[in-house]
Structures are given as structure tokens and as C-alpha cells.
Chain A
Amino acid sequence: MLEIKNLHARVEDKDILKGINLSVKAGEVHAIMGPNGSGKSTLSSVIAGKEEYEVTEGEVFLNNENLEDLSPEDRAHKGIFMSFQYPVEIPGVSVTNFIKTAINETRKANGKEELSAKDMLHKIRETAALLEIDRKFLSRSLNEGFSGGEKKRNEIFQMAMLEPKLAILDETDSGLDIDALKIVANGVNKLKSKDNAVIIITHYQRLLDYIVPDFVHVLHNGKIVKSGGKELAHELEDKGYDWLK
């Protein structure tokens, strides 16, 4: 599904990614771990197509299509979703209105008709129930005054609504208490299928107790320095990152 080949990227003249190779197949869950400043968040931003990040070398393919010239919204339309570490506030725009717009824009881009109000409402209710989200929450302004946990749950709610092919969860566990973490993880697990893939970007192994990865990669200084199975995460938890540097 996702092929990253020798990816180099920089932001403001600073080289951050220095040759990433990664292959993610449908049905797989990959965890990318690493210390602060190793390039984890840069990697997710580059995949999502954030403009400030300049790809200097290498390529990213989604289902064999080179993403190079695609805008962030084009990439979203092709099924890339990124859960933000710091979701932004949009005052006056309700969660419902926002997700409705996102879904219909994506559907239109893919030549589909807009979802009818009835179907939309049904889908919203179903998803809210799945993620144990109070309906009152849906009429609040997007992320405005949300707690850390609410923001992350809202991200997962949007993910569930948009049904992406590739979901990148960027530090989704940060700022979550254990109950919120379980709900978020539970949501991700329910949405996982053989047709989609998940990349979990995290500093800690905590979330991986609940979303079990098929592969774990360690990012250090802009490169993947070690890859392994789920047991690698536990090893990192015990030994820290220093032994890999």
C-alpha cells in the first residue's frame, strides 16, 4: 500500500529525514518509535504533504502512485489520514459540520455523490456510539475548549468517519489518560481490516499494548535504524533508545 524509498526531507534548510525506506502492506499495523527529534512527526507530515517540508530525494508511493505532485487534499482524497498531535481549533464550526464537509469533499473528488443528510446522520450516530462519544460533543465547535483526550478522540472519530486506506496516528497517545487511551485504541482496532493499514507514531510503547503492531521500526537521526516485530517495542521500553544509537 505505502512504499517509501530513500526519502530525504528538510524543513527550513534543516535536513531531517535522511533516507527512509518503509513498506506497508494492506492489513498491517506498523509502529514507528524513536526519541524526540528523530524525525517521527516530520515523516508523517511529509506523507500527508505538508508544504513546509521539502522532499529533496526519494519517493513516496501510495498504491503504486507517486505522491510527489499531489496536494494534501488530493492525498486525503486518495485515502491518507493523519491524526494530528495538536489538532487545531476552528471556532464556530461544529464537529458535525466539519466532518460532513470533509466526507462530501472527498466523495466529490472521487466522483461520488454527496451523502444524503439521512445517511450522514446515521453514520455519525453509529460511529459516535462505537467510540463512546456523547452526541452533545458533536455540536460543539471543532476542538474549541476540548480537553486533550477529547481532541484525540475527535481525531479518531474523524478517521472512523472518513474510512481511510492509510491512517497515520501521530503521537495519538500523548495527553491521554488510560481510559481515553483504551477507547481510542478500541476504536482503531475495530476499524482495522485487511484492506487498510495503520502507522502508529509514538514515543512510548504504552499505546502498543492496546493496538498490537505487526512491525516496529526505530527512527533515529532521520533513518530507520532497526526494525522488528512487536517484541521490539518491549525491548525499547526496557532498554531505552540509547543502545541503538
Chain B
Amino acid sequence: MSKYTEDDLKKELETKEYEYGFYTDIESEKFPIGLNEDIVRAISKKKNEPEWMTDWRLDAFKIWKQMEEPEWANVTYHKPDFQNISYYSAPKKKPELESLDQVDPELLKTFEKLGISIDEQKRLSNVAVDIVMDSVSVATTFKKTLNEKGIIFCPISEAIQEHPELVKKYMGSIVPKTDNFYAALNSAVFSDGSFCYIPKGVKCPMELSTYFRINEGGTGQFERTLVIADKGSYVSYLEGCTAPQRDENQLHAAVVELIALDDAEIKYSTVQNWFPGDKEGKGGVYNFVTKRGLCETNAKISWTQVETGSAVTWKYPSCVLKGNNSVGEFYSIAVTNNYQQADTGTKMIHLGKNTKSTIISKGISAGKSQNSYRGLVQINKRAENARNFSQCDSLLMGNLCGAHTFPYIEVKNKSAQIEHEATTSKIGEDQLFYCNQRGIDTDKAIALIVNGFSKEVLNKLPMEFAVEAQKLLEISLEGSVG
């Protein structure tokens, strides 16, 4: 990440509309709208997938057809017409790239606008980037360094070809096709995504990073991510997103599966700032994501998310603590402004003995938005001495927004220790005046207060991501008071 200066921030604050709302003019290849078996087959064929994969998709499609869209979340929206979406879009010339010079200059320009200079990434931040532009990965860097360690980091379409045994074994093992409506849909039509395998005992020497980006109006994006940390390995994975401005709603239904085998650790960080809709609540991305991780013995999975975008968010990164002594963590900042709605939280499923989970959720609501935390802590019968600590804090701005907390606690073992803390606060006029008097204007003051409020979570992010996250918080709350 390039260094973010105060001047950059000021420039950004001057731009009231969603600044990433530009459209990249890259020739795209796009399927006709609608969804049926032929489309599913066509997607699979497009990717030269082996038969087992095609069958897997078709099976998922059958399951999906019988499912209904869930309605229990605390959000209201026009349900997408699933027959009015194109399920595949890819930059037409899928380049086989060895260097950046071969990348479409239009595409590079887009990355520049996003502040993601790959070159800079290479030089400065030691981050390997697998960039997903619309649905096809177009550039993979640092592959060589990773190769030396035996780490596989590639588009999932490539993994299906080259590492079918791993994909077959793990894909759908944590989030089965039958899991929920959107997971089933994703399983049928997923376009691309990332695959990552860390071999036994290997500590991944760099943060693995993927930038997702929805381009091409009206194209739903269905990412599929699979991260496998073999015994005793460690990986930190970053995912960050932006989307261009569009009038019609765009659907995003990703599935992320993490597998941490014995003694392994996965740290998965997300910064999500998809187009949230305009000030009147028009447009914006629907983000219906299923993220789940499995911890074997002594393993640890840590989810950290900063969610500032999307019109409607439905997302519960979860941990299944199967192995004894395994640890699950969830650190979240969710910001809603204008007409955004977020229903987000986590599930911590304690199966093994001495399992531990921590949940820190910070919800920030402004404008006319609704922000809900929904979390399940489940201690199962065999989970002796399980422990959970949950903290849910809400910060409100103005009088028209809402903050909601829905904690679910299910305990089936008496030795469990569970703590739940919750607070709600409001940014006060007196706080703002105090900052103003010290020469800090109201927007900057809000940013400062919000960053302070979110600090425990921001601190969990890798350094270069924390900077971007702070900047996002500031942009998304700009002008929300006064």
C-alpha cells in the first residue's frame, strides 16, 4: 500500500460521491442473462473444468433450485431477480502474464485509481497479489518466492486443473452446497476466486492478498476462496474490495472456506468497501457472503473485517472449533451510513475441549442506516472447559440510524465460561466542539473518534491494511454529522 497522507485524505473528503464509481472500459465477454443448467455447464466449460467439477456445480444448482432466499436477517431490500443476472463476465483477452507490461493498460489505470499500484506493492510492501478483476484473475505476483516454500497461491480455476486432489477434498467440506441459499448459488456458478495451500510447518513469509473488484454493470460476482493451512503452518491472508458505481443493484455472493489443520494458524483480514448506494439509497451492492473456517487440534483462525460498503450486507464469518484447544477469533468493524443495512456477526461453534473464542464487534451507524450484530456462541456437549468472550459496541451518529444486537448463546456443557459485554454510545456535540476548538474540523473529528472507537479491531489488521481501513472509515462517514 502506498503511503497515505493527510492531503490525500482531504482530496478524498472533497469528493462526496463514491469515488471508485468509475467504469473501466475493458472489452468484456459476458453471458446472456438468466440461470439454468446450460449456463452452469457453460461456465464450467468456459473454464475447461474436469467433469467432476461440472457435476459438482450441477448438483449445487439442483439444490439451489429447491431452496428459498432467507428472510430472517434484519434487512429489507428488493430481492434480486436471479433470472435477470449475467453469471459470467471476464475480460475478453485473458492474458497469460509473466510481467506487468503485458497487462491491459486500462486495467492498470483502474488499479492506479484504486491506489493499488502493483509495482509499488512489489517494491514496498512485500505483498503478493492475486488480483481478481471481475471474475478472472489477470495477474499473479510473487509466485516464485512462494513456490520455493511450496506454497500454492493461485486462482481457484487453476487449482481445479493443477491440484484437483486438494480441491476435491476440501471444497464444500466446511460450507456444503446445502448450507444456505447463497452458498448453493455460489457453488453452482462461482466464476473464480483464490486458492491457497500452505504446506506442513511452513510460515508464509508474506501477507497473501487478493483484490476483488466487480466491474461490468449487472454482473453478479461469485467468488470462491479456499485456504488450507496444513499442520503447523501459518498464513495471513488479506482481502480488499471496491466496486464501480451502478444504478441497478449488484449481487455478490461469495463463499470462503478456511481449513486450519493441527497446530496451524490462519489470519484472514477483509476490507470491504463496495458501492453502498447513493445518498438516497439508490443502487449499491448486495453482499451475501458465507465465510467459515474449521480448526483442528491446537489450530487458530482469526477473522478480522472492516465493512464500510455495500447497500445490504449479510455476513457471518464463523469458526468451527473442532479440535481440542483450538481458538477462534472474530474482530469486526461495520460502518453503515445513509440507507445502508448490515446484518453481520459470527458463529463460534465449540466442539472440542478447551476451545476458546473471542468476539469483538464494533458497529458504527450514521445517516438512516441500520446496523445489526448477530452472533451465535454454541458450546456443544463434548466441549469441556470451553470459553468465550464477546464484546459488542455500537456507536451512533444522529437520530435517524439504528443499532441492534442479537446475541445467541447455546450451552450444552456446564463447564463453559461465557462472557458477553455490550455498550452503545453516541458521538456528542461536546466531543465535536472540543476537537473543533483544537483546530480539528468536524469530519476529521468524527474520523478521530471513530478510529478511537474501533482501535481494538484496527490493531488486529496488518499494518498496510490498517492504513487503508482508517482511510475508509473516514471516507464513509464524511459529512454524516451537522
List 9 tightest A-B contacts by C-beta distance, closest first: A92-B452, A93-B452, A72-B436, A76-B439, A92-B455, A102-B438, A106-B439, A88-B434, A73-B436
Complex CA distance for A231 and B428, rounded to whole angstroms: 41
Closest to A102 in B: B438
* Cross-chain contact B430 with A88 (CB below 8 angstroms): yes
Question: Whole-angstrom distance from the CB of B437 to the nearest CB of chain A?
Answer: 5
Interfacial residues of chain A within 55-105, with CB under 8 A of chain B in the complex: 71-73, 76-77, 81-82, 84, 87-88, 90-93, 97-99, 101-105
Question: Whole-angstrom distance from the CB of B7 to the nearest CB of chain A?
Answer: 8
Interfacial residues of chain A within 101-140, with CB under 8 A of chain B in the complex: 101-106, 108-109, 114
Chain B residues near A87: list those with CB within 8 A.
434
* Cross-chain contact B6 with A88 (CB below 8 angstroms): no
Considering only CB atoms and an 8 Å cut-off, how many residues of chain A contact the other chain? 34
Question: Whole-angstrom distance from the CB of B451 to the nearest CB of chain A?
Answer: 7
* Cross-chain contact B6 with A90 (CB below 8 angstroms): no
Complex CA distance for A158 and B448, rounded to whole angstroms: 17
Q: Decide yes or no whether B441 CB sits under 8 A from chain A.
A: yes
| Interface range on chain B (Cβ under 8 Å from partner) | 20 to 34
A residues near B, CB below 8 A? 48-51, 71-73, 76-77, 81-82, 84, 87-88, 90-93, 97-99, 101-106, 108-109, 114, 141-142, 158, 162
Other than the known A73-B442, A91-B453, A141-B452, what 14 A-B pairs have Cβ atoms closer than 8 Å?
A71-B441, A72-B437, A76-B439, A88-B428, A90-B435, A92-B452, A92-B455, A92-B456, A102-B435, A102-B440, A103-B439, A104-B6, A105-B439, A108-B6
Q: Which of A76, A99, A141 contacts B437, CB < 8 Å?
A: A76
* Cross-chain contact B436 with A90 (CB below 8 angstroms): no
Given A91-B453, A114-B6, A105 contacting B434 (CB threshold 8 A) = no
Chain A residues near B449: list those with CB within 8 A.
90, 93
Q: Which of B439, B451, B453, B456 contacts A102, CB < 8 Å?
A: B439
* Cross-chain contact B439 with A90 (CB below 8 angstroms): no
Chain A residues near B452: list those with CB within 8 A.
90-93, 141-142
User: What secondary structure prevails in chain B residues at the interface with A?
Assistant: helix
Q: Which of A50, A72, A92 contacts B453, CB < 8 Å?
A: A92
Closest to A84 in B: B434
* Cross-chain contact A158 with B453 (CB below 8 angstroms): no
Question: Whole-angstrom distance from the CB of A207 to the nearest CB of chain B?
Answer: 21
Q: Which of B430, B434, B444, B451 contacts A92, CB < 8 Å?
A: B451
Complex CA distance for A57 and B10, rounded to whole angstroms: 36
Q: A-facing mask of B414-454, CB < 8 A → 1, else 0?
A: 00000000000000101101111111111010001101111
Given A90-B448, A93-B451, A104-B6, A73 contacting B439 (CB threshold 8 A) = yes
* Cross-chain contact A50 with B438 (CB below 8 angstroms): no
Complex CA distance for A84 and B456, rounded to whole angstroms: 28
* Cross-chain contact B434 with A101 (CB below 8 angstroms): no
Chain A residues near B436: list those with CB within 8 A.
49, 71-73, 76
By CB atoms of chain A within 10 A, which of B430, B436, B444, B454 has the most?
A: B436
Chain A residues near B433: list those with CB within 8 A.
50-51, 72
By CB atoms of chain A within 10 A, which of B428, B434, B436, B437 has the most?
A: B437
* Cross-chain contact B438 with A88 (CB below 8 angstroms): no
By CB atoms of chain A within 10 A, which of B431, B438, B448, B456 has the most?
A: B438
Complex CA distance for A71 and B10, rounded to whole angstroms: 18
Complex CA distance for A91 and B451, rounded to whole angstroms: 9
Q: Which of B6, B437, B439, B448 contacts A93, CB < 8 Å?
A: B448
* Cross-chain contact A105 with B441 (CB below 8 angstroms): yes
